[in-house]
Structure 1
Amino acid sequence: MTVLTGVATLPAARVEEAVKIHGIGATEVRALDHVTVDFPARRFTAIMGPSGSGKSTLLHCAAGLDTLTAGSAFLGATELGGLPDRRLTVLRRERIGFVFQSFNLVPTLTVRENITLPLDLAGRAADGQWLATLVDVVGLGDRLHHRPSELSGGQQQRVAVARALASRPEVVFADEPTGNLDSRAGAEVLGLLRRAVDEMAQSVVMVTHDPVAAGHADQVLFLADGRLVDAMAAPTAERVLDRMKAFDPRTEAGR
């Protein structure tokens, strides 16, 4: 395990010279090609790029869900590549929150049980005040004893966001969290992630294809062909869409 030292303010996560190769020989695909990037603490970062640009691969490697072919990935000061599988599993459970496009709720558990699941798996008691705050923020206080099947898609994703935040992780990684939602439900989920950063001092990294979603972030990173090609501070949906048109002139508003 490698530890970074002498840094005044560490990013929530970081990759250095990240390379990820799938396949060998004629079938080789370089999903990440020497990417170095910081994901600042207590900030909302969006990752965008054309299909196949490597954005989900970058998120998965930064979150320890996948391993790099070369280079390093850090959570705070901890290098993920130096951890044995058991310690990496514990790190993901205790220090990282995840939100996926498919919600990934346990259908037999109630809303409350789904929210506290990471804590239950770690053998940790839920902080009652923090849990009450989360429930209030996601607006599901009257649904705590319902099962996922009794909720709308937007409500299920709000439960997933609360679950990701339940353990007060150092960073939340969200992979297309609004991909299965209509525009109204998607806006609610993005608002929750924004509030998590602004009001709860969380760090959020989100992969998205949607310029409107990216407009909720503090910065947007643009990937193309596995490389970091641009970054935008204080993004708006219009500015992000204009930048995406440089990758694909056929891009249309609202896509």
Structure 2
Amino acid sequence: MTHTAPITDEALAEPGAGDLAARALRITKVYGSGDARVTALDGVTLGIPRGRFTAIMGPSGSGKSTLMHCMAGLDSIDSGRVLIGDVELNKLDDKRLTRLRRDKVGFIFQAFNLVPTLTALENITLPLDIAGRRPDREWLDRVIDTVGLRPRLGHRPNQLSGGQQQRVACARALASRPEIIFADEPTGNLDSRSGAEVLGFLRDSVREMGQTIVMVTHDPAAAAYADEVVFLSDGRITDTMAAPTAEKVLERMKGFDLPGAGS
């Protein structure tokens, strides 16, 4: 079984290494300078295997969102390499990077980011419409049925519950069949029941549709839906956990609160 655990630099540098959807190789990211200098990522090396659900966790300020944004091409890195498939992001100009994000990457955020004047179906197909691409009808039907939204496709966002709106956002991310989906606290604005519905859908999209998902979360119960959890502290990967449970993740997170932990 392929694991999300840190991989040797040599293995990560190989084209198609381990059939990885995304790779980070010794990446660093620094904000500010002088006394205000903060090292958000400190030489992180990580591989994300295809067709797996990976959660990234850590205390506030650990660098987990920065890592996701850098691996998704939403933020630049100061050193190292980031690849989606075998395409190195830091070698792309803005136009090609924008095209890669549009064609190869899906995004789900804590805020649903739906267009209020469009129906659920129009929101789902919006990125394809902007790109001038016709949706794959069979795939789109499968996504809609997996997310359970067929009766609500004609509804606008204000006619949908929070959980339904986030499922529209999930379906939108899946509609273009991206190489990888990055989800940043996707259940942060949802009650526990709606959050469980969305997480169940994300897990099903990995198991039944072969999607690759990377999710940043602070919630041990959310992390338990993943195949593997990567733990960050002070901008470094400190541990990984396969087949996580909420209890095991919570126990591991308690270690970050101990004096000197993660330093």
- TM-score, structure 2 length as denominator? 0.92
The CA deviation at 1:135 is 1.0
The CA deviation at 1:131 is 1.1
Q: How far apart in 2 are the matches of 1:66 and 1:199?
A: 31
Q: How far apart in 2 are the matches of 1:12 and 1:150?
A: 36
Equivalent residues of 1:32, 1:227 under 8 A apart = yes
Counterpart for residue 213 of structure 2:
204
Equivalent residues of 1:4, 1:78 under 8 A apart = no
Q: Write out aligned runs for 1:211-230 (5 A).
A: 211-230=220-239
Aligned with 1:125 (options 131, 134, 137): 134
Q: How far apart in 1 are the matches of 2:225 and 2:204?
A: 10
Q: How far apart in 2 are the matches of 1:120 and 1:203?
A: 23
Equivalent residues of 2:18, 2:49 under 8 A apart = no
Counterpart for residue 88 of structure 1:
97
RMSD value, Cα? 1.4
Write out per-residue CA displacement over residues 71-95 of structure 1, whole angstroms, 9 at most, x where no aligned residue. Answer: 1111010000000001110110110
The CA deviation at 1:130 is 1.0
Amino acid at match of 2:148: G
Q: Write out aligned runs for 1:1-255 (5 A).
A: 5-7=14-16, 9-248=18-257
Q: How far apart in 2 are the matches of 1:226 and 1:6?
A: 26
The CA deviation at 1:9 is 3.4
Write out per-residue CA displacement over residues 92-132 of structure 1, whole angstroms, 9 at most, x where no aligned residue. Answer: 01100000000111111110010001111111001111111
The CA deviation at 1:138 is 1.0
Structure 2 unaligned spans of 5+: 1-11
Q: How far apart in 2 are the matches of 1:163 and 1:6?
A: 30
Write out per-residue CA displacement over residues 147-166 of structure 1, whole angstroms, 9 at most, x where no aligned residue. Answer: 11111100000000000000
The CA deviation at 1:24 is 1.0
Given the superposition, is the C-alpha separation of residues 6 and 18 from structure 1 closer, same or farther in structure 2, using an over 3 Å criterion?
closer
Percent identical: 64
Structure 1 unaligned spans of 5+: 251-255
Equivalent residues of 1:10, 1:77 under 8 A apart = no
Given the superposition, is the C-alpha separation of residues 23 and 6 from structure 1 closer, same or farther in structure 2, using an over 3 Å criterion?
closer
SS at match of 1:9: helix
Give aligned pairs, total.
248
- TM-score, structure 1 length as denominator? 0.95
Runs of 4+ in 1 over 6 A off after TM superposition: none
Amino acid at match of 2:170: V
